[in-house]
Amino acid sequence: MSARVITYSRNVFLPLTTVCRNRCGYCCFRTPVQPGCLMPRADVESTLEQAGRLGCTEALFTFGERPEEEPGFLPVIRAAGYETILDYCEAMSQKAIACGILPHTNAGILTYEEMERLRPVNASMGLMLETTAEIPAHATSPGKSPDVRLAMMEDAGKLKIPFTTGLLLGIGETMADREDSLFAIRDLQKRYGHIQEIIIQNFCPKPGTPLEHQPVPTTDEICATIRMAKDILQKEIAIQIPPNLIDASTLIACGVDDLGGVSPLTIDYVNPEHPWPAFEELKRIAGDAVLRERLCIYPQYIERGWYDRSLQPLINRLSHTVLQRSSGP
């Protein structure tokens, strides 16, 4: 019987802007338009160059959803030399590739055309479903409409984009809502086969937000959700948990396959109070399982050729790199 494998990716986290049209009841990432709301190009490029030297293989680009809808943002992005945040993301994705790192963009709601545009410079993309329930925490967040999010995920499937999604636990949904969300993901996978992983992420209360006193999910509750995901979802979908947000070692036995992106360089800007574990700590978390590095595009999608042909040389090179690192002493 072969040993169980737990995977992770070595990434660099780049929040291009913190301006967002949504106002979720649990978020501390979003800021108004102000000095410093756009990550300067020089900082992005120097971070990518350093990440390349550190052996990172994934550049995680995030930014607030539709920041151009916020008054005052257009002059900020234009002063940086770009018409839209998407222009900026495309240019920085090209820089990541030049540094030997595969881009993965998670930018909130994008149209079919916008994803089609980013696909040549992204090996994978993502959008957290969070929940299919209509909850008070999303009342002032148009981009958090379940129908809107599922429609984008469907478009990603039509475009054959290897995709990451997930559930955010503890934001006002019930266990029945989580089950509904997992069935929605399963149905998308049946039609398109593009969901490579889902994240089962526990909500972390942030001071000063409407949900700061919301009870957090218990370990047993998270474990039950992981087990439910294993029962509902197709076997090829990896179940990921963030190892910086909970004692992940207690959840491995529940059916966890992956520990997500972990950075040797940048913090988790969405949950800055929770530092990443060191790579050596990941081995302890994995326990008796074999810890194996992966790329942001999973092997089955590399085999199917679900990426732009211009990325093939870099994907081939990095596949060899992570294989060597995983089989090393």
pLDDT digits (tens, 9 = 90+) for 88-137: 999 999 999 999 999 999 999 999 999 999 999 999 999 999 999 999 99
DSSP secondary structure code for residue 246 in this structure:
S
- Other Cβ atoms closer than 10 A to 35: 6
Phi-psi region of 100 (alpha: psi -120 to 50; beta: other; left: phi over 0): left
User: Mean pLDDT across the stretch 203-215?
Assistant: 91
Question: pLDDT tens-digit profile of 26-83?
Answer: 988 899 999 999 999 999 999 999 999 999 999 999 999 999 999 999 999 999 999 9
pLDDT at 328 over 80: no
Determine contact, residues 112/159, Cβ cutoff 8 Å: yes
CATH architecture of residue range(s) 13-327: Alpha-Beta Barrel (3.20)
Compute the distance between CA of residue 188 and CA of residue 290 in angstroms, rounded to an integer. Answer: 30
- With tokens 């294993």, the residue in question is 230
**Which residues, at least 6 apart from 309, have a Cβ–Cβ distance to it below 8 Å?**
none
* Placement of tokens 């969901």 in the chain: 195
| Distance in angstroms (rounded) separating the CA atoms of residues 262 and 271 | 13
What is the Cα–Cα distance from 270 to 267, expressed in whole angstroms?
Answer: 9
Alpha-carbon gap, residue 237 to 298, rounded angstroms: 10
Domain ranges of the chain: 13-327
**Structure pTM?**
0.95
Share of the chain above pLDDT 90, in %: 88
